[in-house]
């Protein structure tokens, strides 16, 4: 049965078994490439000149400060990671041109090749030298590679010795320069210290400022006291202003001044208010007995008026007193502010004088401290410079090596072998990649996602039974794919011309007819009709005459030499085959043949250039696709199958035609038995086109 259309991700799957089989079949080529690679590796190993490697081990301690103490000069300190930049610098110095020149001079190599006449012998020597630090330690190996093992050891030891001497000279020279610089700075600092002390002494004599140490000046205390007084006076002034503002509001609203707090709490005003209340009480009692004109009533009214005037006069006196007090408080506030400003000015002058004295004192102390420090460092550096202690030492001297490090013949041989294998596999895979045709029956399912119905080999007359067996497999697949008992219309097509589709159709028809079922073959290849020639029949009249001349179908069907096999030739070739195949009568013709015959086999043009096969595929029940081995681009084949599917064809599977003899054993495990083979089957096969 035909397989389903491939999914989107199916085409990207890698068939590992296919590629393993591809490599296995080309094992002779891969083995040859591996042997050539091995030979090249061995030749490369024996052709190279042996080189020896010697190494001397040095111990490099972390750097000590330039202005170092005696203890620092003897001990040192720190670890590798704290001084990574120092060690990287020393590694560069070890392989520097200056060290190389000194080694060349010491060993007198300038008169020996290859240094003789070379413009830069130091750099030339350093091309043989490398540095190999020992991890997690302060050790480093000075490695020299040379063709002579003795020279390699001598060069490594000499490079280490030159570097140690250079490092020691650098430290001593650095200490000497530091000592000279300290002497110069000490003289300048001593002079500066004395000048600062003189300026401080003269400033003490010229300033009339005295502030005991740890105490506050009198000006500061005075400013603090005046500030407190100012706050108190401001509070009183604000209170008086508020009271006067309340009195003004009472007057503006014609209210009595008795509600003002200063008037309300005055003793005289309180007494007058009490008298007024008593008189008003007496007046109310008298009015109950007498009229307003009564002498007693008028007497009390006169007293009330007199007390009220006295009370108003007292209120005016209190207000006048508040106004006078307010004026006094304002003047007092202004006087205090003037005094504070004067004290601040005096304090500013005193502060400036104190700051000048403090600056002079600090300058004097700083000069004195710097002088003492420089004097101490001078004494220590003088002693340290006299100690010739180096932070670099030789731990292990280089010895002449016994075996060369290059070339590594075994490694080169293995690399050559692996390179040859890789090249051979790459050639096989590349050849398969660029040769983009279908060569393996497994590619039918892997690439086209279709069933392989038959693999027809390319054999001679003596081996015809292999081809017969292949077509029998195709016949069996068609029988199993039969949908019902009615006649089946089977289209046989391919991608390109000369792929053997007509041969496949003829052999299949002969096998189907040999079983006793009526079979008809229809030549719908109206461009290059060949079916009639294979069956030994004339081309005309035929299919086209049925549509053009309206000849009856019975008059066009031709018997063949094979029992139960009938043929409908193409007839006269029309100018426009697709127009004829697209007629409604084409479907009616095929339906008529389906009723008369058990099998209707339709031959069609290839898919690559015309659309005839797509038109016929829509009218047929099943489509068999023929692909010739190693002949057509597989992408073109895939596009042709896709076009058939888009046209609605039921693609049963693929017949792989003209399979080479080398693949015979993979698909045919039986042997030829001519005595037991039925005569019908042995005579049915017609060899595919070669």
- pLDDT value at residue 210: 47
- pLDDT value at residue 12: 44
- Residue 42's Cβ-side half-sphere holds a number of Cα atoms within 13 Å equal to 7
| Shared domain check, 609 and 481 | yes
Into how many domains does the chain fold?
4
| Shared domain check, 658 and 531 | yes
Q: How many residues does the chain have?
A: 690
417 neighbors 42 (Cβ within 8 angstroms): no
- How far apart CA 300 and CA 312 sit, in angstroms, is 18
Phi-psi region of 117 (alpha: psi -120 to 50; beta: other; left: phi over 0): left
- pLDDT value at residue 601: 94
| Shared domain check, 466 and 355 | no
Q: Would 312 be classed as within a structural domain?
A: yes
- pLDDT value at residue 567: 93
- How far apart CA 223 and CA 228 sit, in angstroms, is 9
**DSSP letters for 337-388:** HHHHHHHHHHHHHHHHHHHHHHHHHHHHHHHHHHHHHHHHHHHHHHHHHT--
142 neighbors 59 (Cβ within 8 angstroms): no
Q: Would 596 be classed as within a structural domain?
A: yes
- pLDDT value at residue 52: 84
Among the listed residues 453, 495, 467, the one whose alpha carbon sits nearest the alpha carbon of residue 656: 453
Among the listed residues 593, 583, 509, the one whose alpha carbon sits nearest the alpha carbon of residue 544: 583
- pLDDT value at residue 648: 87
| Shared domain check, 40 and 93 | no
CATH number at residue 453: 3.40.50.300
- pTM comes to 0.45
**Domain residue limits at 268:** 218-368
Q: Would 382 be classed as within a structural domain?
A: no
**DSSP letters for 433-483:** HHS-B--STHHIIIII---EEEEEE---GGGHHHHHHHHHHHHHHHHHT--
Q: Would 28 be classed as within a structural domain?
A: yes
- Residue 2's Cβ-side half-sphere holds a number of Cα atoms within 13 Å equal to 21
| Shared domain check, 155 and 299 | no
If one counts every other C-beta atom within 10 angstroms of the C-beta of residue 4, the result is 8
| Shared domain check, 652 and 597 | yes
163 neighbors 99 (Cβ within 8 angstroms): yes
603 neighbors 501 (Cβ within 8 angstroms): yes
| Shared domain check, 581 and 529 | yes
| Shared domain check, 630 and 538 | yes
Q: Would 499 be classed as within a structural domain?
A: yes
Quick one: tokens of 375?
A: 């004097």
- pLDDT value at residue 53: 85
Q: Would 608 be classed as within a structural domain?
A: yes
- pLDDT value at residue 493: 92
Q: What is the DSSP letter of 688?
A: P
Please, where are the H alpha helices in 127-217? Answer: 149-206
- pLDDT value at residue 671: 32
| Shared domain check, 516 and 425 | no
| Shared domain check, 71 and 33 | no
Please, where are the H alpha helices in 95-148? Answer: 97-107, 121-126
Q: Would 578 be classed as within a structural domain?
A: yes
Q: What is the mean pLDDT of each run of 10 residues along the chain (690 residues)?
A: 41 64 82 87 76 86 60 51 77 86 85 81 85 88 86 86 82 67 70 69 59 55 78 79 72 63 66 74 76 76 77 74 79 82 72 63 66 64 55 85 76 86 86 74 82 82 76 88 80 89 91 90 89 88 88 89 90 88 89 91 87 89 89 85 89 86 47 33 37
Q: Would 198 be classed as within a structural domain?
A: no
| Shared domain check, 464 and 424 | no
| Shared domain check, 40 and 62 | no
CATH number at residue 170: 3.30.70.1130
């Amino acid at each position: 049965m035909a397989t389903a259309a491939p999914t989107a991700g199916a085409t990207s799957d890698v068939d590992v078994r296919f590629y393993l089989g591809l490599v296995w079949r080309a094992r002779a080529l891969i083995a040859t490439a591996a042997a050539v690679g091995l030979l090249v590796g061995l030749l490369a190993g024996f052709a190279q000149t042996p080189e020896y490697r010697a190494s001397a081990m040095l111990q490099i301690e972390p750097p000590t400060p330039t202005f170092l103490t005696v203890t620092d000069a003897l001990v040192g300190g720190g670890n590798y990671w704290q001084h990574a930049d120092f060690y990287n610098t020393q590694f560069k110095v070890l392989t520097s041109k200056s060290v190389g020149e000194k080694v060349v001079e010491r060993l007198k190599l300038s008169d020996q090749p290859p240094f003789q006449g070379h413009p830069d012998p130091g750099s030339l020597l350093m091309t043989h030298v490398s540095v190999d630090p020992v991890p997690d330690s302060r050790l480093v190996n000075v490695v020299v590679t040379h063709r002579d093992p003795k020279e390699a050891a001598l060069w490594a030891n000499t490079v280490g010795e030159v570097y140690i001497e250079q490092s020691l000279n650098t430290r001593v020279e650095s200490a000497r320069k530091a000592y000279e610089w300290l002497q110069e700075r000490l003289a300048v600092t001593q002079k500066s210290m004395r000048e600062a002390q003189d300026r401080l002494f003269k400033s003490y004599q010229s300033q009339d400022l005295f502030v005991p140490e740890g105490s506050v000046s009198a000006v500061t205390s005075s400013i603090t006291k005046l500030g407190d007084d100012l706050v108190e006076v401001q509070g009183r002034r604000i209170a008086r202003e508020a009271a006067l503002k309340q009195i003004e509001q009472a007057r503006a609203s014609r209210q009595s001044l008795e509600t003002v707090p200063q008037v309300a709490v005055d003793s005289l005003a309180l007494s007058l208010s009490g008298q007024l209340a008593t008189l008003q009480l007496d007046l109310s009692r008298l009015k109950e007995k007498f009229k307003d004109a009564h002498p007693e009533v008028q007497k009390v009214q006169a007293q009330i008026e007199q007390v009220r005037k006295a009370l108003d006069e007292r209120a005016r006196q209190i207000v006048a007193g508040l106004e006078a007090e307010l004026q006094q408080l304002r003047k007092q506030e202004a006087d205090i502010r003037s005094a504070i400003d004067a004290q601040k000015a005096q304090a500013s002058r005193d502060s400036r004088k104190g700051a000048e004295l403090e600056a002079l004192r600090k300058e004097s102390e700083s000069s004195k401290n710097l002088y003492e420090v420089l004097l101490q460092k001078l004494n220590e550096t003088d002693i340290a410079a006299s100690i010739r202690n180096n932070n670099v030492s030789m731990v292990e001297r280089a010895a002449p090596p016994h075996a060369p490090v290059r070339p590594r013949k075994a490694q080169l041989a293995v690399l050559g072998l692996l390179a040859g294998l890789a090249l051979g596999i790459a050639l096989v895979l590349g050849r398969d990649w660029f040769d983009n045709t279908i060569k393996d029956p497994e590619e039918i399912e892997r690439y086209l996602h279709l069933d392989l119905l038959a693999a027809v080999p390319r054999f001679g007359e003596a081996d015809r039974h292999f081809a017969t067996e292949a077509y029998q497999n195709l016949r069996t697949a068609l029988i199993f794919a039969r949908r019902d008992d009615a006649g089946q219309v089977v289209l046989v097509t391919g991608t390109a011309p000369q792929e053997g589709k007509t041969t496949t159709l003829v052999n299949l028809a002969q096998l189907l007819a040999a079983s006793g079922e009526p079979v008809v073959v229809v030549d719908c290849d109206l461009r290059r009709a060949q079916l009639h020639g294979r069956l030994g029949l004339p081309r005309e009249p035929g299919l086209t005459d049925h549509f053009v001349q309206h000849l009856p179908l019975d008059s066009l069907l031709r018997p063949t030499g094979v029992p139960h096999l009938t043929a409908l030739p193409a007839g006269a070739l029309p100018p426009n085959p697709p127009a004829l195949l697209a007629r409604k009568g084409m479907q009616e013709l095929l339906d008529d043949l389906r009723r008369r015959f058990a099998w209707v086999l339709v031959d069609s043009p290839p898919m690559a250039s015309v659309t005839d096969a797509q038109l016929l595929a829509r009218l047929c029940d099943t489509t068999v696709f023929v692909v010739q081995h190693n002949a057509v681009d597989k992408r073109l084949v895939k596009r042709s199958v896709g076009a058939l599917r888009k046209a609605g064809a039921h693609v049963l599977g693929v017949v792989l035609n003209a399979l080479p003899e080398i693949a015979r054993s993979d698909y045919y495990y039986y042997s030829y038995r001519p005595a037991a083979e039925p005569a019908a089957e042995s005579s049915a096969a017609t060899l595919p086109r070669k």
